[in-house]
Structures are given as C-alpha cells and as structure tokens.
Amino acid sequence: MPGGAWALALALMLLEAGNGQPAQECSPGGHRLLESPHRSVHFDSLFLQQSAPQDLICDHSLAAGWYRFVIFDRPAEMPTKCVEMNHCGTQAPIWLSLRDSETMPAPGELKQLTACATWQFLLSATKDCCLFHIPVSVRNCGQFFVYLLQPTQGCMGYCAEAISDAKLNPCGPDEIEIEGDCVRQLSASLPPPPPGRPQIVVELIESRVFCRCAVDVSPTNNSVGFIIAWSRLSSQDVREELKQETTIQAFSLLEMDGINLRLGDRIFCTASIFFLEKPQVKSLATESQEFFAGIKLQPEMSTISEDGKEYQLRIESTIPVVCPEFSELDQECKISLRLKTVDQGKDLLGLNLALSSCHVDLLQTTSCANGTCSHALVYYTAVTDFSHDGNRVTDIIVEPIVNEDFLWNSYTPDSIQVRVKDVPTAYCYSFTDPHIITFDGRVYDNFKTGTFMLYKSMSRDFEVHVRQWDCGSLHYPVSCNCGFVAKEEGDVVTFDMCGGQLHESQPYLFLKSQHETSNIKISESYLGRKVTIWFSSGAFIRADLGDWGMSLTLRAPSVDYRNTLGLCGTFDEKPENDFHDKNGNKIDQTFNSCFAFINEWRIFPGKSMFDTMPITLPSPGKLPYCSCSLDTTSLYPSSHRPAHVSQADVASDCKVLTRVKFSSLIPELDVTSKYINSEALVGEINKHTSREENNSNFFPQDKKHVNLPKLDLNLQKYPKNEKQVVPKTLDKGVQTRDQDRHSQETGRHRQNRWRRQSFYEFLPLLAFQSLSQNDAKELPYFFPEDHTKDVQQEFVPTWPTPSGLTEHSTLELCQRTLANSSLGRHCLPFLGTRLDGVIDMCVKDVLLKDDLSWAGAGVALLENECERRILEEGKYNTEEYGKSIEDILLVLRCPNLCSGNGQCMQWGCMCPPGFGSYDCSESRGK
C-alpha cells in the first residue's frame, strides 16, 4: 500500500464512530501521562520498602480517566504477562490479562479488557497472578496505547514496560521509515557516520553525583543531533533500559540517585547521530565500555603461598565522596570501610589470611583521574601455619557501609577471594654423635670437630653456625654439638656450652636484638631439657640438652624452599644433591663426597659468629598484621602474644598478630622477657631443680596464667669487652683423671677433652694452625677444635665392644627404650620409618661410646618428630586419629607418664616428695 493511502486509512480508523472526529483520548489533552520509572516491570520494590517506603506506588488514590505510560521518555505499555510480586514500585503489581482468544486492539480500535493484580499470601509457597480483577478499556492510538484506569481497592500499582527498539523501529537494519514505508538506505540519503565510542565519566553538580555519557563525534558540515540511551546490567546479567534522550548536545547526564541508579550498577550508554534537517536519517549506534559505579577490591595476586611475602590490596572508588553541606568543622569527609576475612572450609584449620588493617577510609578528592575518584591501600599475607592443610580459600568482604549520604548508606561492595597454597617446610636434625638428617631426609654422620655452617638461607638474612667438640668416646673419633649461634636480621642468639668442660659445662644463652618490635621467642620445656628459639620468619632451633652437649632440631620456613646451603642440605626435595659446595653445586666425587661436603662448610678460626658479632644492615620496618576474621576469639594464646601488642590493639577490631603461628604440643615456659630487654644477658640453665622449686608451683595461686615448673635461671651480666681467658694452671686432681683416661686410649693421637683448660698443654705443637698469644686474646674464648689439624680417619667399629656389649643386647635395649616407650607406642602411626632410623642411631651411639647411657639420647628426636607430625597432619584428621592423638598429647605433656611416680597435670608432671626431674624419674634421698 502506498505511504499516503496507509496514512489515510490510519486516520479513518482513529475517527470516532458516528461523528468522523479523532478519538478524544488520543489527542494530547485527552489523556494524562504516568511517567514514574518505578512502574517499570524491572524495578524491584523491595529496595523502596527498605529505604523509602513513602515512595511506594499505591493507585487507590488515582483519579479515574485515560492514561498513557512513559518510562524515561520512552513509550511504554502495560505488560500482558504475569508480573512478580514486589515489582513496579508496589507490592501488588497490576498487569493486563489476555485470554486465549483476546488480542490488543488494532489501530483506532477500542477494547474492554481485564487487568489482574499479583499477590502471594504469607507462608504460602505459590503466588496468585490474578487474585484481583480490574476492568480496563484500551484504545490503540496508532503510535501508542491509552488506558481507561480506575482507582484500585488497596495499595496496588499499574505496571508498565518500555517498548523495545524493534517495536518502535519495525524497519530492518538496512532500511529507514519514510512516511510509513520501510525504504532501503541506498535509495535514501546517506546516514551520518557513527560516533566514536562514548565514554562514561562521573561529575559532581551541586553536591549531586551524575554520570555523563560523552559522545565522540567527528566534525560535519551538517547540523546533527544525538540519540543517547542509558542501560545497566541486572544481577542476572539482563540488560535494563534506564533512559533515552534526544538532544543536540554531545552528552547526556544521568543522576546517581540511589534508587534508579545505585552503587554497584554496571552502566552502559549508546549513542547514534541524526541530521537535524532529516531526523529520520540516523547513524548506527555505538556502545560505551562498561562503567562500574562503586568500590572495587583489586588484589595484587589472587593466589599466594605461605612464604611470608606481602601483597597489595588496592581499594578504589569510581564515585566521588560527597561531603554533607552541613557538617562539623573538624569532621573529615570520608567513607569508612570495615574489612573482614571469612575462611572457607573447616573451622578447625585456623586463620588463613592476615590484613595490615581491618579499617580503611576513602577520602574526598578534587578529581577522578583515570576513572578513580578515591583509593586506599591495604596489605595482605598468608599466615604460615606449618600444617598440611591444603590449598585454602579466604573471602575478603566489606561490611555494609554506614553513612549519612543516602547514596552510600547500606552499600556493600563485592567481595574477592584469595587462595593460599601450602608450601613445603622441612626439619633438619643434628643428634648425638652427631647423626644428621637433612631437610630432604638424607642421613649421614659428621664425626668432625670444629665450627661449621649448619644452615644458611640464600633468600634472606638467616644463618646458623654450630660447634662440635669431642664428647668422650674412648675408642673412636666422634663428636657432639656443644653450641650454636643463629642470626635472623637484627636478632642474634648464642646458646653455648663449648667454653667449659665436658660433663660439667653449663649452657649460656645470649640474645642481641636490634628491633624493639622483634617477635623472637625463647621457651623452655621439661625443666630446661629442651630450649627452643622461635624466629619471626617461622624458623626455630631446638636444643635438647645433655651433660655431653646438645642435639639440635631446626625448622626451615617455606620462604627458604630451594634457598638453603650448609650441612642441613638444599631443601629442594632432592636428597641426592644435598652434598653441595658454597655455590650450591652438587659434589660429585665418587669417593669421600661426604668428607668433602663436611669440609666445604667448615668455618675457619675467628670467622664464625661465635668469635665476632655479625654486622647487620638496617632493615625496613615490618608492617603489623591483623586478624580481621569474623571469629577472632582465641586468636593466639597469651604466652604467644607479641611483646609490642597493646591491650588496646587486642580490644580493637584489628587483632594484632604475628604472621607465623608458634605452635607447640610440648608444655613450655616462655622466658623471652628475661633476655629480650637487655643488651647482654646470660642465662645459666641448671640441669636439676631442687625438690622445693620443683614442687613450689604445683598449686598455682593465679589461675589466669599457664603453670609450668619454674626454672632456676641465674642471670649474670656478661661484661661487654671482657674475654674469657684460658687459665694457665690446672687442677691436679683433674689432670690426674685426664692422664688416667689418656692411658686407656688405643691408637689415638688426640687428648680426650675432659677439661678445656688442659687440652692445648697435652696437644702437640704441630696440631695447631697459626695460633699465637694474640689470637687467644682476640677470641671470646679459646675453642681448641678450631685449631686441630683435620685428618681423615677411616674406622669400622665392630661388635662386641671393648666392655663386652653385643649388637643383639644393644638392639634389644634400644627397642625397649625407644620403640616400647609410651611415646614410641602411641606415636607409631605418625613416626613410621623414622622410628627405625632412630633405633639405628641408638645402636650406633652405644657402639661408638661403649656406654649404655646413650640409649635414651634418641628419645628427644622422637618427641620432636612426633610433635611435628601431629602439628602438620594429625590435628586435622581427628576422626581417624582421635583417640591416639589424645594419648600422644598425654605422653608429650608428661614423659614416661611421670615414670609411674607422679601425677600428670595440664602443665606436666607433679612429682611427690622423694622424686624429681621433668618425668619424676629421679629418686632423691630425704
């Protein structure tokens, strides 16, 4: 049909029957407009009910008459499908119900139809789409519908749905409508070129926030106008149209009012161009990039490891912070955020992620550069727990914002997830002779005496030097640890008994800390038999003491993975390359590779940390970290609380904590305060505690503190520049004993060191290397083993021993002492093959020393290894190991179950009168 004929037909249809006049309700003055955007079927009324209930739409006061719907300047119609309850700005939305045979009126036609109101009764599982019926007359005015509406019975509202572009523009993409006909563009005027991609920015206009869609248009000789449409993505990723504007300006504004456009919305705008002279000729539309209106949490890394590294969390707002017009002068204009962490998975696993702050403020800024109006930084790090708890996920969430500004109030930014990966940690043992078990599990013996590099980190400032002395074998050249010096950044710890005499020397503890906020910790267990130095990185050194020296247990944190050197190996899960040189290269000698490896890590006299205090370069201060978990109860025991944490910090939202968990299943006494506050303090640890001291703490008066047996620590000031000089005179009785012992030696060229003072008087002059009087004066004390000529001696010990001990009887003793002990029996599922290795060490110790008292020296290794396995694996498998773990914890708390002589308490053994020691095994005369 030609365009003119179609227009005529349409006009005839719109004439009122009988008088030939157009329908009055179709004329501009014949109807009223309902323009509230809240009437949209996409508008969720629950938001109004919570924030502005007075704005709910209730059409019970609507005047009867003809109405036309418009939403954001776009024609709209009543929906013809059921609308969900709590939409269209009301509780009971009204929609137009068409029966199977009914259709909307044709152009010019009037129809009597029925509208329905949706409702759902309380406690009902289903809704009723047509609980109420309302008669509605509908007139088709050609380009739009008008509706004869009447007031509703209750708080109901008539719904509207914006007409789609396809309905408004029925022509194809390559066609334009001219006088009612769709004409291909080739036969019409050429359209203007499409605009460049629009850009959405925000701006403040009189303390109100607006989004501006700016159109990038190239110069043209013709006057042009713009059609700019706004939309957003709903939470279901459905595109919702907000507004369409026809303008001669190359931009459009849309207010962030907190109702139609809210924080958290993902906003788009599209723009097309038309000629003002020919409005029907327009360009293709161009869409902007998504603009997120709100706060974004942007982590530097979403997957991190338990390696002590810090990462940056950037918190950005794309919306400016608006200051209230009337506020106190000293009130800072800001948006305050409260951060929380929520660990997914089992609750028993403990804290997974720590933040540098649980509170962040976004301050007002003068501009929004690069789309960011305000930002703040928070740092996060994984909590190193030394447990095999798998890769865990933590959510960082922001609590709903509380603010006077309606736009910001109750806004909750989206949370993010951070995955924390387990990284291997490892233990190194240097026990008795010593037998060394490297970080990667390789076992070898170091019978050499002298000073050695036991452990050095290549990734940070950490190393451990150890000294080994002759510990009394009458037949074979063996040695034992007698002291160590460990350094981590500004913290230097010396634990040493090498300056005294075998079987009489007492260990001295010296701590030098350059940081007031140092998290170093010193603890003692079993009445001083175990001493543990805990460093802030998570590394620790535990010394199990005997009158012959000490056995050492070292833990390497995950930050040192593939970054260690020294006698403890390479910590790369490859035991075959543990024998390495100072460059980390594997020592490939076919023969004597172990001998070459040990000598590679010998430290020459005067070069170790025993001799000179190492110089530490100033290091940047470390950020304090918080537990922002929703459950911060029992964050860390009072004994593990860092010294610099105040009660105010603990009581605040930010629960200050160290980034490393100090976990111990063996009862311990924290003695850090006795050393940390003095430049040079020496603690002498007595091997025995008197019966009165041992029993003085059995009945504690203050139940708020952990009760452990109190050690007798005689703290002595160590003069700054005073050197311990080797006496020139000898005790004749001791000398006689030494000579008697010396006469029993067979085939040995070294004096057995029962008295340190007598050693170099018996030693031939050739055995010393470059030793002078000045050397002795410069050293804190003289350590002869550093100056003994290293001679490789091959020996193969044989059974029976000179005193008649047999291999069979020794093996039975070691099995009875270790495997059949209460600890060996209960912890067997966790110890595995390690128990067999410790029994082999026991047999070798007795063979080399020809002394049955060495059979129990391996118990300490079982204690440490059992505690390690429980902390790493057992406590998270309570269903599988529940009862056995209870028994293990009992024997770790009370060794040998107090030997049947005492009572097992929460803090250890309570010995009755006549018995003493940490396990009540010593019988004491009255």
Question: Are 578 and 680 in a shared domain?
Answer: yes
pLDDT at residue number 177 = 62
3-state SS of 121-161 is CCCCCCCEEEEEEEEEEEEECCCCEEEEECCCCCCEEECEE
Question: Are 377 and 414 in a shared domain?
Answer: yes
Residues with Cβ within 8 Å of 671's Cβ and at least 6 positions away in sequence, in order, are 522, 523, 524, 683, 711, 713
**How far is residue 709's CA from residue 910's CA, in Å, rounded to a whole number?**
9
pLDDT at residue number 290 = 95
pLDDT at residue number 180 = 57
- H or E segment at 416? strand 416-421
Return left, alpha or beta for 437; rule: phi > 0 is left, psi -120 to 50 is alpha, else beta.
beta
Quote the tokens at residue 507.
């260990």
**How far is residue 450's CA from residue 608's CA, in Å, rounded to a whole number?**
11
- The ranges of the chain with pLDDT < 70 are 1-22, 166, 170, 172-189, 219-222, 325-331, 346-349, 514-517, 590, 619-621, 631-653, 656-659, 676-779, 793, 874-881, 926
Decide if 689 is inside a domain: yes
Question: Are 285 and 365 in a shared domain?
Answer: no
Q: Of 25, 143, 141, give the one whose Cα is nearest residue 74.
A: 143
Decide if 101 is inside a domain: yes
Question: Are 861 and 775 in a shared domain?
Answer: no
In contact, 789 and 766? CB cutoff 8 Å: yes
Please indicate, yes or no, whether the overall pTM of this predicted structure exceeds 0.85. no
Question: Are 152 and 194 in a shared domain?
Answer: no
In contact, 355 and 628? CB cutoff 8 Å: yes
3-state SS of 264-299 is CCEEEEEEEEEECCCCCCECCCEECCCEECCEEEEE
Choose one of 292, 319, 343: the last residue of a domain: 292
Task: For 528-540, give one letter per residue: b (16+ CB within 10 A) or e.
Answer: bbbbbbbbbbbbb
Question: Are 514 and 542 in a shared domain?
Answer: yes
**How far is residue 378's CA from residue 363's CA, in Å, rounded to a whole number?**
15
Beta carbons within 10 angstroms of residue 712's beta carbon: 14
pLDDT at residue number 695 = 33
CATH of the domain at 230: 2.60.40.10
Give residue 158's domain range.
3-163
In contact, 384 and 308? CB cutoff 8 Å: yes
Question: Are 413 and 372 in a shared domain?
Answer: yes
Residues with Cβ within 8 Å of 12's Cβ and at least 6 positions away in sequence, in order, are 108
Is the alpha carbon torsion for 490, 438, 594, 763 positive or negative?
positive
| Number of domains, the chain | 6
pLDDT at residue number 641 = 39
In contact, 533 and 520? CB cutoff 8 Å: yes
pLDDT at residue number 808 = 96
In contact, 291 and 285? CB cutoff 8 Å: no
Question: Are 450 and 508 in a shared domain?
Answer: yes
In contact, 65 and 136? CB cutoff 8 Å: no
**How far is residue 224's CA from residue 273's CA, in Å, rounded to a whole number?**
6
Beta carbons within 10 angstroms of residue 800's beta carbon: 14
pLDDT at residue number 738 = 36
Q: Of 623, 701, 716, 713, give the one whose Cα is nearest residue 670.
A: 713
In contact, 750 and 764? CB cutoff 8 Å: no
pLDDT at residue number 880 = 64
Question: Are 709 and 783 in a shared domain?
Answer: no
Question: Are 382 and 475 in a shared domain?
Answer: no
**How far is residue 736's CA from residue 732's CA, in Å, rounded to a whole number?**
6
Return left, alpha or beta for 710; rule: phi > 0 is left, psi -120 to 50 is alpha, else beta.
beta
pLDDT at residue number 786 = 92
Q: Of 328, 353, 327, give the one whose Cα is nearest residue 340.
A: 353
Question: Are 712 and 772 in a shared domain?
Answer: no
Question: Are 277 and 210 in a shared domain?
Answer: yes
